[in-house]
Amino acid sequence: MSQPSLYESQFLELLPTIDRIAGSLARARRLTGADADDFVSVVRARFVETDYAALRQHRGEASVGTYLTVVITRWLQDQIVARDGRWRPTAAAVRAGPVAILMERLITRMGSSVDEAVAQLMTEGGHGYSERELRALARQLPPRPPMRPRLVSELDARDVHSGARELADSGLTSQDNLSAEERFSSALKDALAALEEEDRMLVTMRFLDGHTVAQIARALRIEQKPLYRRLDRLMVTLRRTLEADGITAEDAGELLSRADQ
Amino acid sequence: MSEGSDARMMSDAEQVAALIDGRLSPAARTALLARLSQDPEWRDVLVMAAEQVDQVPDATTASRPLHDEDATMLPFAPRVQRWRWTMAAAAVMLGVAGLSYWTHSQMSIATPPVLTLAMVEPPAAMGVSGGSLSVSPALARWTRVRAATNELPSRAVAVRLGALASATLQASRAGDATNERIYREDMKALLGQLPGSSPFAAALDSTQNAQSLFELFQQVRALVDGRAFDAGAMLALAHVRIDIASDRLTALLATDSASDTEVARHLARLHETGALNGPAPSSATVATLDSLLARLGH
């Protein structure tokens, strides 16, 4: 039997860490039982099939553990995109604010029912909403069935333009509404482009992706408490820019009328 | 997923991981955030991975400081490679290409700026893949016109010298004697604006092979703003292989991008059109690169 290569040895040494990361990620994405085991096996196989490329290409700029976590997270993300397609919030959810995006993500991406989504958000403190308000918010979201597993090539998944998908998902049929959405999206894009890089990232993560302030603070390694005030200030700036561009509060919906929760 | 896109993914993953670890320099962090704000998939990965890192703290124990003395050594890299006689010829070829690529890969946005041969000329194996390597006509025009201008700010001189150094090496490797001579003359004209550079200008006439030229250019780089020189070199390299220049270029221009809306606009265009991912730049991308060169080099 031949000696294992150096990378193979490294891989075997790191295997418990790799398995732990993959298992934890699978649980976080609600993969259970065989699906979770499958994912752990896929991760192991990916290391071997690529001749341990992930290990060979680590340059030492980040710690090994964090680097492996990011690589495996990306693989999981790619697997989900290949299976379900890319997920982006609907324009209606964006206009209804970050909590609506969070709810839409739970319902359409994670497969939760409205009751489950409301219950989860309530366990997180309600994000500034009462249970009744959360249910009202859920009713504002356009009907979109949870994504179902379907076979698409990775290339196909990549080629679907997110803007086109958002449009298809938005449920807008009226030409007038479409124009208003387009005008709002275009103005929002311009307003975001005018912000500093970190500010743009903060606003995008909070108000377009629907991530919580705690998640953003953790991801960008910035203090959470001042972040609330900073996001509020950024929203004021964004509101002024959009208003100067002719976007009214009615056009922008909750995005501009409700302070950050 | 192709090997190239896999390699790019790993490189992006390392930067995202360095962001989570808080190990990026302010400029590198700004450049990465600018990219991430355009990429919803990576933003989701960032959030999910940061959560995991905090939840599984022992996953980060196998770490080492970024700025170790041997920070450029790959943590997983073997110290001794076994020589295989049966693969000797192939290994030599792959070794040259691999060394160039590895050297390039070390030019991450988080490491201190150091010019390497791979930064000013594309790896050999890549250059010959589409036939003989030649200097972009657009770059040739730019260097010819720009080098002739006198009384330039020092940073502009550095950018132009960097671009000319890369172009000279590219021409030398391609056996393009005509353009190589032009670039050498242009460099000499620019060096004339720098006090104490006459020995280097004289050496340009007598230095022939690419390796010696590279060593000479290293010395020239030491006379000027090194980051500006590197930015020029990266812009010139991007005319031939934009994918291997893009990360470094984005990082080098982060400060310019923050203070100069024109530079920011050009960089945003490169990102938006996906130009940074393809190996050979389109004519529209070349035009954007030329605009960036013109902006930085005046």
Using CB atoms within 10 Å of the CB of residue B39, give its burial: 0 to 12 exposed, 13 to 18 middle, 19+ buried: middle
Interface probe for B, chosen from A56, A197, A218, A238 (most Cβ of B below 10 Å), is A197
Q: Using the 8-state DSSP alphabet, how is residue A30 labeled? A: T
Which residues of A fall within a CB distance of 8 Å from B34? 197, 200
Query: Predicted ipTM?
Result: 0.75
Q: Which residues of B8-33 are buried (b: 16+ CB within 10 A; e: fewer)?
A: bbbbbbbbbbbbbbebbbebbbbbbb
Backbone phi, psi, residue B26, to 5°: -55, -40
Q: Check the CA dihedral B184-B109-B243-A18 and report its sign.
A: positive
Query: pLDDT tens digits, residue range B245-284?
Result: 777 777 778 778 777 888 888 888 787 777 776 667 777 8
Q: How confident is the model at residue A6 (pLDDT cuts 50, 70, 90)?
A: confident
**pLDDT score recorded for residue A131:** 82
pLDDT: is B122 or A226 the higher one? Answer: A226
pLDDT at A111 over 80: no
B20 in Cβ contact with B45 (< 8 Å): no
Work out the average pLDDT over A186-195: 84
Interface probe for B, chosen from A9, A25, A69 (most Cβ of B below 10 Å), is A69
B55 in Cβ contact with A24 (< 8 Å): yes
The whole-angstrom distance between A59's CA and the closest CA on chain B is: 5
pLDDT: is A33 or A213 the higher one? Answer: A213
**Number of neighbouring beta carbons within 10 Å of residue B37:** 24
**pLDDT score recorded for residue B85:** 39
Enumerate residues 87 to 106 of chain B having a beta carbon within 8 A of any beta carbon in chain A: 105-106
**pLDDT score recorded for residue A199:** 93
Q: Would the CB atoms of B10 and A86 count as touching at under 8 Å? A: no
B107 in Cβ contact with B116 (< 8 Å): yes
Q: Would the CB atoms of B62 and A205 count as touching at under 8 Å? A: no
**pLDDT score recorded for residue A71:** 95
Nearest to A206 by CA among A180, A178, A235, A179: A235
Query: pLDDT tens digits, residue range A37-69?
Result: 888 888 999 888 888 889 888 888 888 889 999
Interface check B65 vs A, CB under 8 A: no
Interface check A211 vs B, CB under 8 A: yes
Q: Rounded to an integer, what distance in angstroms lies between the CA atom of residue B91 and that of residue A90?
A: 52
Name the one residue in this structure whose structure tokens are 């896109």: B5
Q: Would the CB atoms of B49 and A201 count as touching at under 8 Å? A: no
Interface check B272 vs A, CB under 8 A: no
Which residues of B fall within a CB distance of 8 Å from A57? 7, 10-11, 14, 105
Query: pLDDT tens digits, residue range B126-179?
Result: 333 333 344 555 565 555 555 555 567 888 888 888 888 888 887 777 777 888
Work out the average pLDDT over A13-37: 85
Q: Rounded to an integer, what distance in angstroms lies between the CA atom of residue A245 and that of residue A190?
A: 9
How many inter-chain contacts (A to B, CB under 8 Å) are there?
A: 190
A123 in Cβ contact with A256 (< 8 Å): no
Q: Would the CB atoms of B75 and A74 count as touching at under 8 Å? A: no
Q: Among the listed ranges B43-52, B66-75, B83-92, B126-135, which one has the minimum average pLDDT value?
A: B66-75
Interface check B43 vs A, CB under 8 A: yes
SS (H, E, C) B233-271: HHHHHHCCCHHHHHHHHHHHCHHHHHHCHHHHHHHHHHH
Enumerate residues 111 to 150 of chain B having a beta carbon within 8 A of any beta carbon in chain A: 111
Q: How far is CA A93 from each of CA A35, A89, B126, rounded to the nearest angstrom?
A: 30, 6, 46
pLDDT at A162 over 50: no
Query: pLDDT tens digits, residue range B95-117?
Result: 444 444 444 443 333 333 344 44
pLDDT at A203 over 50: yes
Q: Among the listed ranges A97-106, A185-194, B121-130, which one has the minimum average pLDDT value?
A: B121-130
Mean model confidence pLDDT for chain B: 69
Strand runs labelled E in chain A: none
Q: Would the CB atoms of A59 and B106 count as touching at under 8 Å? A: yes
Amino acid code (one letter) for A81: V
Backbone phi, psi, residue B2, to 5°: -75, 165
Which residues of A fall within a CB distance of 8 Å from B10? 53-54, 57-58, 71
What DSSP assignment string belongs to A50-103?
Answer: TTTHHHHT--SSS-HHHHHHHHHHHHHHHHHHHHH------HHHHHH-HHHHHH
pLDDT at A223 over 50: yes
pLDDT: is A261 or B33 the higher one? Answer: B33
Backbone phi, psi, residue A10, to 5°: -60, -45
CA neighbours closer than 13 Å in the CB half-sphere of residue B62: 18
| Whole-prediction pTM | 0.49
Work out the average pLDDT over A99-128: 80
B153 in Cβ contact with B104 (< 8 Å): no
Q: How confident is the model at residue A70 (pLDDT cuts 50, 70, 90)?
A: very high
Q: Would the CB atoms of A201 and B36 count as touching at under 8 Å? A: yes
pLDDT at B122 over 50: no
Q: How far is CA A99 from each of CA A130, A147, A213, B108, rounded to the nearest angstrom?
A: 12, 20, 11, 37
Interface check A204 vs B, CB under 8 A: yes
Q: Using the 8-state DSSP alphabet, how is residue A5 labeled? A: P
Local structure of A44: helix, strand or coil: helix
B297 in Cβ contact with B159 (< 8 Å): yes
Nearest to B72 by CA among B97, B102, B98, B101: B102
Q: Looking at the partner chain, which of B3, B21, B258 has a beta carbon nearest the beta carbon of A66? A: B21
